[in-house]
Amino acid sequence: MKTIEQAAKEYANKTDKANQEWVQEDFKAGVEFTQRWISVEEVLPETEDMVLIAYENDTKNAVDTGYYSKKHADWGGRHYGNKITHWRPIEFK
């Protein structure tokens, strides 16, 4: 698997040889945006679609899938009872 740095260089070589550095930085900024974990204190998911969630309990921090129900103002999934801290969409192509 390529690193983000390798993919950015490859993309810049294919698209704009005159502005390599700028293209690479823009590419990495796009990757960073799409990989960002959103704090539950910032915003909650708008739909009940499955999302990746990060949670903590007494013994560990973990990642799983789950969904947020506005109707019940609570998270659903196998992590029940643990404190959800962050989430991010799951993008299917």
Residue ranges making up the domain that contains 74 = 38-89
Which run of H or E residues covers position 5?
Answer: helix 4-15
What is the reported pTM? Answer: 0.68
**Residue 46 amino acid letter:** E
Q: What is the pLDDT along the chain (93 residues), one digit of tens a residue?
A: 888 888 888 888 888 778 888 888 888 888 888 778 999 999 999 999 999 999 987 777 889 999 999 999 999 887 777 889 999 998 776
Q: What is the DSSP letter of 59?
A: S
| Whether residue 48 is found in the same domain as residue 84 | yes
Token reading at 87: 């989430």
Residue 60: the pLDDT is: 79
| Whether residue 43 is found in the same domain as residue 29 | no
Residue 93: the pLDDT is: 65
Which run of H or E residues covers position 61?
Answer: strand 61-69
Residue 4: the pLDDT is: 84
Contact between 52 and 90 under an 8 Å Cβ cutoff? The reply is yes
> d(Cα 29, Cα 70) in Å, to the nearest integer?
31
| Domain count across the chain | 2
Which pairs with CB-CB distance under 8 Å and at least 24 residues apart come from 30-34? Answer: 31/4, 31/7, 34/91
| Whether residue 47 is found in the same domain as residue 69 | yes
